[in-house]
Structure 1
Amino acid sequence: MRGVAIMVVAALLLVTGCSGPFGSGGSPDQSRLERTDLRVGVGNPIDTAPLRIAVADGSFTRMGLHLELVEEQNSQNALDDLAAGRVDVAFATDVAFFTAAAAGTALQLQGEAYTSAPYTDVLVTLPGSGYTDLSSKKSPRIAVDSATDFGALATRSMIATAGGDPTKVKFVTRTFDQMPAALQSGAADAALMIEPYSTKAQQELGARVLADSSRGATMDFPVSSYASTGLFAQANAHTLAAFRQVLGDAQQRASDQSVVRAALPRVAGVDDTTAALVALGVYPTSLNGVRLQRVADLMHDTGMLSQRLDVPSLLPKADTP
């Protein structure tokens, strides 16, 4: 699984093209918030860096919100905690959210977290590996964190783009920190790694990039988002609108990569050198149903979803393109 100052509301409205939840004056009426405390699940520190920065610098507090961050090990844990009411808003991959929605879970997306860019998600091998061409093995063993999540979808897409048969891939499930050992033991021919793990593997093991996911169907691809249950969203519309506003402002600030890189040693536990070297993706400032539909459609095309999912139906009405 995958690092803010408050801008005026008018700027956010220009981005989203809709009216705000706090009236035409543009300043929040905190008395309209249904609640002031939110438990928010967080995962990959790079994906969630803007949110973590906004919590630390008081941006949510100034909006009248107190966020309790709950660390999640993976997307499935996040969805379980959301269903059980242990968190009010969960962070997970878009693949995980759309899989759950297709299975009947009532979700409302509250913000996009991260979109891939060149070298943010890569297949890596170790020095001396005979796997030097993506299509050279008929049934490559690929280490992924989950055979039903983003890594598997991206791997199949990369194999298909290279002219291989994605149905022949044999997935080896490992956590990201276990992947180097899987490569060293020969249990996997390559591993789908995210940052900062891929940079660490290159620094510490001399790993090389076999393929970059930012090609073909997964170029500039939506990776992760935040969501609440449908019932929670219905009962807390103003609170979640305030959450989205601050998140959007935080994501906008993160467009300056230096802001994220400066925070990574604190939020991701990496050293300054690694923070300077990691490939960073894009932090969307608002929900975009057209962009997110790409994920659901690729899932459908590759058999991860049996029927096409209408992603715009999962967005708050005011954020639907």
Structure 2
Amino acid sequence: MTIRAFRRATALLASAVTLTAVGGCGLISGSDEAAAPKPERSTLRIGVLPSVDVAPLYLARNEKLFSAAGLQVELIVVDDDSSAVQQLDSGTLDVAFASHVTLFRAVHSGKELQLQGEAYQAAENTMALVTLPDSDYDTPGEIQKPKIAVNHKDDLGTLTTESVLQTANVAKGNIKWTSMPFSDMVKALESKSVDAAWMVEPWITKAQRSNGARVLTDTARGYTLDFPMSGYAASKKFADANPKTLAAFRNVLAKAQELGTNRLAVQEVLTEYAEVDAQTAGLVSVGSYPVSINPVRLQRVADMMETSQLLTSRLDVQQLLPPATVS
């Protein structure tokens, strides 16, 4: 090859490299600037309870995180989480907040659900057995056939209470359950129709402030330490029809859960929806808000349900997760 030909080839190679570099920069820039897929629908109806678990949703709505993602979210307060899950079938709700126990029991009974995120994880005194000051029930093992109030039988309260009382040598079959709303539990304690009530926040703190209630035992201890309490789910039918909408919801939920790390912000927003004053809200115990779904963590709930015979066979939580990406 002549010197002239060599120089020409070198110039052409340099030109090709430059074009490739420019093209590469363009691709990277385009990827960074690509907008998120537009949701199939702009309105999302979410069934919630007035509990500490859902505080991040209210924080996100106040910070306009949902509207920034193209979603108009309606937070609809329901009587109980089982009702919320049932309303997914009728289309009254698009997403339901519920305890993981409620969700897994629904799936086990044949309901097709897709998990959209974890809501809440227990910490000290975020769920507990509560009694009143004049109660003679002083230690978990003191009454061998206790009458316990729960919001629903065979739900989170039953599962965690059985765990704690069995540790105190109370036989599972000896526990007598009474189902009632959290708001009715103090009256049941006053009338002595139950020996203790399983409560979550903010009802624990409300009972302490208004009635001098005391915690008989924390039910987030031992096998239920740091227990995954609740989450969000949609029907499989809705999820299949609206993958971009739910992907947008999950993205905002992750940001919302991060807002939940600010305990003061959580306690402050409780006054907007949980019927508590600022002083009561400031005393509420707050757990943690997972920013992503952890199937290993949730499998712990399903496996414990199987051991406790709330499920008759093993439930594979991995099968309930949404697709990793939406094209």
Pick aligned residue for 1:65 from 71, 77, 97 = 71
Q: Does residue 1:290 correspond to 2:309, yes or no?
A: no
Q: What is the DSSP-based 3-state SS (H/G/I as helix, E as strand, rest coil) of the residue aligned with 1:38?
A: strand
Equivalent in the alignment of 1:15 = none
Q: What is the DSSP-based 3-state SS (H/G/I as helix, E as strand, rest coil) of the residue aligned with 1:48?
A: helix
Unaligned runs of 5+ in 2: 1-28
Q: Does residue 1:103 correspond to 2:109, yes or no?
A: yes
Instruction: Rate the CA distance shift 1:69–1:27 in 2: closer, same or farther, 3 A.
Output: farther
Equivalent in the alignment of 2:25 = none
* CA–CA distance in structure 1, aligned partners of residues 181 and 33 of structure 2: 44
The CA deviation at 1:128 is 2.5
The CA deviation at 1:33 is 2.0
Aligned length: 297
The CA deviation at 1:50 is 0.5
Unaligned runs of 5+ in 1: 1-22
Who wins on radius of gyration, i.e. which is larger? 2
Please list the CA deviations of residues 155-204 of structure 1 after superposition, one character each: whole Å capped at 9, or x if unmatched.
11111122221221100112111111111111000110111111121112
Please list the CA deviations of residues 198-238 of structure 1 after superposition, one character each: whole Å capped at 9, or x if unmatched.
11211122111110012111111111111011121112111
Q: Does residue 1:80 correspond to 2:74, yes or no?
A: no
Select the structure that is richer in helix. 2
Question: Is the Cα–Cα contact under 8 Å of residues 149 and 197 in structure 2 kept in the other structure?
Answer: yes
User: Where do 1:94-173 residues align within 5 Å?
Assistant: 94-173=100-179
Please list the CA deviations of residues 59-108 of structure 1 after superposition, one character each: whole Å capped at 9, or x if unmatched.
11001111122211101210111111111111111111000001111110
The CA deviation at 1:40 is 1.4
Q: What is the DSSP-based 3-state SS (H/G/I as helix, E as strand, rest coil) of the residue aligned with 2:267?
A: helix
Question: Is the Cα–Cα contact under 8 Å of residues 36 and 64 in structure 1 kept in the other structure?
Answer: yes
User: Where do 1:1-321 residues align within 5 Å?
Assistant: 25=31, 29-30=35-36, 32-318=38-324
Question: Is the Cα–Cα contact under 8 Å of residues 156 and 167 in structure 1 kept in the other structure?
Answer: no
Q: What is the DSSP-based 3-state SS (H/G/I as helix, E as strand, rest coil) of the residue aligned with 1:143?
A: strand
Alignment-mate amino acid for residue 123 of structure 1: L
* CA–CA distance in structure 1, aligned partners of residues 260 and 187 of structure 2: 33
The CA deviation at 1:30 is 4.9
Q: Which moved more, 1:35-44 or 1:74-83?
A: 35-44
RMSD, aligned α-carbons: 1.7
Q: Identity, % of aligned pairs?
A: 45
* CA–CA distance in structure 2, aligned partners of residues 244 and 313 of structure 1: 17
Instruction: Rate the CA distance shift 1:245–1:137 in 2: closer, same or farther, 3 A.
Output: same
Alignment-mate amino acid for residue 151 of structure 2: D
Alignment-mate amino acid for residue 54 of structure 2: T
Question: Is the Cα–Cα contact under 8 Å of residues 28 and 63 in structure 1 kept in the other structure?
Answer: no
Q: Which moved more, 1:180-189 or 1:263-272?
A: 263-272
Q: What is the DSSP-based 3-state SS (H/G/I as helix, E as strand, rest coil) of the residue aligned with 2:285?
A: coil
Q: What is the DSSP-based 3-state SS (H/G/I as helix, E as strand, rest coil) of the residue aligned with 1:274?
A: helix
TM-score under structure 2 length normalisation: 0.87
Q: What is the DSSP-based 3-state SS (H/G/I as helix, E as strand, rest coil) of the residue aligned with 2:52?
A: coil
Q: What is the DSSP-based 3-state SS (H/G/I as helix, E as strand, rest coil) of the residue aligned with 1:47?
A: helix
The CA deviation at 1:24 is 8.9
* CA–CA distance in structure 1, aligned partners of residues 244 and 309 of structure 2: 37
Instruction: Rate the CA distance shift 1:24–1:309 in 2: closer, same or farther, 3 A.
Output: farther
